[in-house]
Amino acid sequence: MATQILLCFFLFFSVTLSSSGHPKNFSVELIHRDSPLSPIYNPQITVTDRLNAAFLRSVSRSRRFNHQLSQTDLQSGLIGADGEFFMSITIGTPPIKVFAIADTGSDLTWVQCKPCQQCYKENGPIFDKKKSSTYKSEPCDSRNCQALSSTERGCDESNNICKYRYSYGDQSFSKGDVATETVSIDSASGSPVSFPGTVFGCGYNNGGTFDETGSGIIGLGGGHLSLISQLGSSISKKFSYCLSHKSATTNGTSVINLGTNSIPSSLSKDSGVVSTPLVDKEPLTYYYLTLEAISVGKKKIPYTGSSYNPNDDGILSETSGNIIIDSGTTLTLLEAGFFDKFSSAVEESVTGAKRVSDPQGLLSHCFKSGSAEIGLPEITVHFTGADVRLSPINAFVKLSEDMVCLSMVPTTEVAIYGNFAQMDFLVGYDLETRTVSFQHMDCSANL
Residue 315: CB atoms within 10 Å? 10
Residue 249: give the domain boundaries. 24-254
Q: Are residues 217 and 288 in the same domain?
A: no
Looking at residue 124, its pLDDT comes to 85
In a domain, 205, yes or no: yes
Give Cα 144 to chain centroid, integer Å. 24
pLDDT at 315: 42
Q: Establish whether 313 is a catalytic residue.
A: no
Dist. CA 257–CA 234, nearest whole Å: 13
Please state the rounded mean pLDDT for residues 421-433. 92
Active site residue 177: no
Q: State pTM to two decimals.
A: 0.78
- Residue 38 is assigned to a structural domain of this protein: yes
Domain annotation covers residue 129: yes
What is the per-residue pLDDT for 5? Answer: 31
pLDDT of residue 283: 86
Rounded (5°) CA angle 48-244-124 = 75
| Residue 10 within a domain | no
176-232 pLDDT, tens per residue?
A: 999 999 998 754 445 677 889 999 999 999 998 787 878 998 888 899 999 989 988
Tell me: do 351 and 374 sit in the same domain: yes
Top mean pLDDT of 59-63, 144-148, 217-221, 329-333 is at 144-148
Asked if residue 287 and residue 227 are part of one domain, the reply reads no
Sheet holding 299-302, edge to edge: 299-302, 291-296, 379-383, 386-390
* Same domain flag for 235 and 280: no
Does residue 246 sit in the same domain as residue 336?
Answer: no
Q: What's the distance, CA 112 to chain centroid?
A: 21
Q: Do 248 and 279 share a domain, yes or no?
A: no
* Position 3 pLDDT exceeds 50: no
Same-domain pairing of 75 and 113: yes
Residues 167 and 304 in one domain: no
Beta strands in 297-413 (DSSP E): 299-302, 307-308, 316-317, 323-325, 332-335, 354-356, 366-368, 379-383, 386-390, 396-400, 403-406, 408-411
Query: Using 50, 70 and 90 to split pLDDT, how confident is the model at 141?
Result: very high
Question: What average pLDDT is seen over the chain?
Answer: 78
The CATH number covering residue 283 comes to: 2.40.70.10
Strands 274-277 and 435-440: antiparallel
Q: Which domain-ending residue is among 228, 254, 280?
A: 254
Same domain, 219 and 281: no
Q: Which of 359, 228, 381 is nearest to 293 (CA)?
A: 381
In a domain, 385, yes or no: yes
Q: How many Å apart are CA 436 and CA 428, to the nearest integer?
A: 5
Query: Does residue 376 sit within a domain?
Result: yes
Q: Which of 103, 107, 424, 430 is catalytic?
A: 103
Backbone dihedral angles phi then psi of residue 438, each to the nearest 5 degrees: -130, 130
**What gap in Å lies between CA 353 and CA 433, rounded to an integer?**
45
pLDDT tens readout for residues 356-372: 987 777 788 999 987 77
Residues 325 and 400 in one domain: yes
Cα–Cα distance measured from residue 436 to residue 291, given in angstroms and rounded to the nearest whole number: 13
Q: Do residue 177 and residue 283 come from a single domain?
A: no
- Residue in 416, 324, 403, 320 with CA at minimum distance from that of residue 366: 403
> Which listed residue (82, 211, 326, 430) is catalytic?
326
Q: Nearest to residue 255, comparing CAs of 276, 274, 271, 239?
A: 239
Q: What is the C-alpha separation between 39 and 353, in angstroms, rounded?
A: 39
Residues facing 405 on adjacent strands = 366, 397
- Asked if residue 362 belongs to a domain, the reply is yes
Q: What is the DSSP string of 171-182?
A: S-EEEEEEEEEE
Residue 6 lies in a domain: no
- Burial label, 135 (beta-carbon count in 10 A; 0-12, 13-18, 19+): buried
205 with 277, same domain: the answer is: no
Quote the number of domains for the chain: 2
Letter string b/e over residues 224-255, b meaning 16 or more CB atoms within 10 A of that residue's CB:
bbbbbbbbeebbbbbbbbbbbbbbbbeebbbb
